[in-house]
Amino acid sequence: MMDDIDRMLIGRLQEDATQSYAELGKAVGLSGGAAHERVRKLRERGVIRRTTIEVDQAALGRAVTAYVLVDGGAWMGGSADALAAIREVEEAHVIAGPASVLLKVRTTGTKELQDVLRRIFEVDGVTGTQTVVVLETFFERALE
């Protein structure tokens, strides 16, 4: 229900999802039709969520990346929605450890970061935040 060929197909598509199925099939030792059918099933099963583009956030004006540790206990129910409503928050995870939630935030600058922190603080249950600013990103890549 998920062999090496499927993994190869996923790897190839992560690198370049614009290539033809004929090309894709040749790369993994399959015909175009067979490759297409496998990819169709991977999409159907939700292993492949969607086809998308990778954007240079800096080119879009988002120069500052920061991680925000959020303290506070009431993380049932609507808190996730309240965080999702803050558009600069790219990821939100519940974590084991010192804080309750870890957020990844991208903004155009420190000014906007300050504003985002203010809005995070207004979310129900939040009692405090600790912010870690990224100075340089070595890499952000797709696994496998």
Partner DNA sequence: GGTGAAACGCCAACCAT
Partner DNA sequence: ATGGTTGGCGTTTCACC
* CB of residue 144 to DNA, shortest distance in Å: 19
Contacts of 79 (CB under 8 A, 6+ apart): 101, 123, 124, 125
The stretch near its own copies (CB under 8 A) out of 24-32, 82-90, 108-116, 121-129 is 82-90
Token code pair at residue 88: 């600069």
Residues in 32-61 that interact with DNA by CB under 7 A: 32-38, 41
129 binds its own copies (CB under 8 A): no
Q: Which of 28, 37, 34, 31 is nearest to 8 (CA)?
A: 28
Residues in 41-80 that interact with its own copies by CB under 8 A: 45-57, 59-60, 62, 65, 67, 80
Q: Which amino acid is at 33?
A: G
Q: What's the Cα-to-Cα distance from 128 to each of 105, 106, 113, rounded to whole Å? A: 16, 19, 15
Nearer to DNA, 30 or 126 (CB): 30
In the three-class reduction of DSSP (H, G, I as helix; E, B as strand; rest coil), residue 44 is classed as helix
Rounded-to-integer distance, Cα 94 and Cα 82, Å: 14
130 binds DNA (CB under 7 A): no
- Can you give the binding site for its own copies, defined by CB under 8 A? 2, 7, 10, 13-18, 45-57, 59-60, 62, 65, 67, 80, 83-84, 87-88, 90-98, 101-102, 106, 132-144
User: Which residue ranges make up the site for DNA (CB under 7 A)?
Assistant: 5, 19-23, 25, 29-38, 41
